[in-house]
Structure 1
Amino acid sequence: MAEVIAQEKQGSKQRKKLIRIDMTPMVDLGFLLITFFMFTTNFTKPNIMDLGLPAKGPAPTKVIDEKNQVTFIIGKDNRIFYHQSNSNELNTSNLKETSFNGMTIPKIIAEAYNKAPKKENFTVIIKPTDESSYDNFVDMLDNIAIAKKERYGITDIKPWEKKVYDELTK
């Protein structure tokens, strides 16, 4: 603990007292405080989105009818387009633009689902372009989760879609 050492100087009446403090208990107290705060702190869990991947095996050959799907094309500058057309029908009037604001994407998914002839085969298809951002892709996955649709696919944009997309973004 603390010690007081008294020294007498020769020829002087005044005694000079030296104080030496033992810091060992303070180190113990520091470790106790660190341990206390470590055990009482809430460690936050990372927010993880479950990305459902297909099981290994042969690739499915089933073609999904365009009425049983809605396709979202994620573009540059936070732009997103959607359609329910095939390669022969898609043009600049069929490729519609929407935004990530509010509940617009879940509403579009719900409307397409309600119009689908075979609801059990309804699929949301996401096609990010090379100019799209990762944040927009994650926002799209969040919107699919909000719409409570578990059947979705991620693929590359087709050349016929890219042609119409390029016409709209020029």
Structure 2
Amino acid sequence: MAELDTSGGGKKDGGKVRTKKKSTRVDLTAMVDLAFLLITFFILTTTLQKPKAMDLTMPDKDEKNNNQLPVPETRTMTVLLGTNNKVEWFMGMPTNPLTAPTVTGFGKTGIRESLLDKGKEVLAKSGKPMIVLIKPSDKSTYYDMVTMMDELNIVGNEQRAIVEISQPEIDLLKRDNIY
């Protein structure tokens, strides 16, 4: 609160009449209390960045519900995750690929460009979207897997599966020095 000092400045023993000097003193205790209450209120009511999670649908582990449909080779792209943020992709089967295995990286000039080009090509030929099989190796990282899923989300591919890698595919990674 504010307080005024009204002392001083009076007439003393025949001297001149002087105006009273007024001194103001503002007590800031209440304002500091209010500021800390507001800061505490906003800290407690503010939500921090919410964690972002990607929805991933996985098949049942029951043997009886394991009804897998055959997938044509012409619609299937296999992506092998190697080391050092490298991927190798091909169309078809690893023993007899329809396209030559290609080593690339992530990003718009890497696997994303291949996904877009082959996706358009498959859609034009068959009228159905491309199916992407992601096969992480034991040398790949979790970061590579998440990045690959992000790339598939960017290009809008909804038909994908995470599959175990086979020995011929590991040999393919070893041949291209990304295992």
**Fold in common (TM above 0.5):** yes
Query: 1:82 touches 1:97 (CA, 8 Å); kept in 2?
Result: yes
TM-score (norm 1): 0.71
Match of 2:9 in 1: none
Match for 1:104 among 110, 128, 133?
Answer: 110
Match of 2:41 in 1: 35
Supply the RMSD in Å over aligned alpha carbons. Answer: 2.9
Match of 2:119 in 1: 113
* Count of residues in correspondence between the two structures: 145
TM-score (norm 2): 0.68
Alignment of 1:14-25 (within 5 A): none
After the TM superposition, list the runs of 4 or more consecutive aligned residues in structure 1 that deviate by more than 4 angstroms: 26-32
Q: Determine helix, strand or coil for the equivalent of 2:133.
A: strand
Match of 2:50 in 1: 45
- Structure 2 CA distance for partners of 1:163 and 1:43, relative to 1, 3 Å: same
1:69 matched to 2:71? The reply is no
Where does the alignment leave 5 or more consecutive residues of structure 1 unmatched?
1-25
Specify the structure having the higher radius of gyration (Cα): 2
Work out the CA distance in 2 between the residues paired with 1:119 and 1:56.
31
Work out the CA distance in 1 between the residues paired with 2:68 and 2:129.
14
1:85 matched to 2:89? The reply is no
Work out the CA distance in 2 between the residues paired with 1:97 and 1:71.
12
- Structure 2 CA distance for partners of 1:88 and 1:55, relative to 1, 3 Å: closer
Q: Deviations over 1:6-59 (max 9, x none)?
A: xxxxxxxxxxxxxxxxxxxx88975564123322x3422111112133467612
Q: Determine helix, strand or coil for the equivalent of 2:128.
A: helix
Match of 1:155 in 2: 163
Work out the CA distance in 1 between the residues paired with 2:42 and 2:100.
62
The alignment-based identity, stated in percent, is 22
Where does the alignment leave 5 or more consecutive residues of structure 2 unmatched?
1-31
Match of 1:137 in 2: 145
Letter of the 2:85 partner, please give it: N
Work out the CA distance in 1 between the residues paired with 2:61 and 2:168.
30
Query: 2:119 touches 2:129 (CA, 8 Å); kept in 1?
Result: no
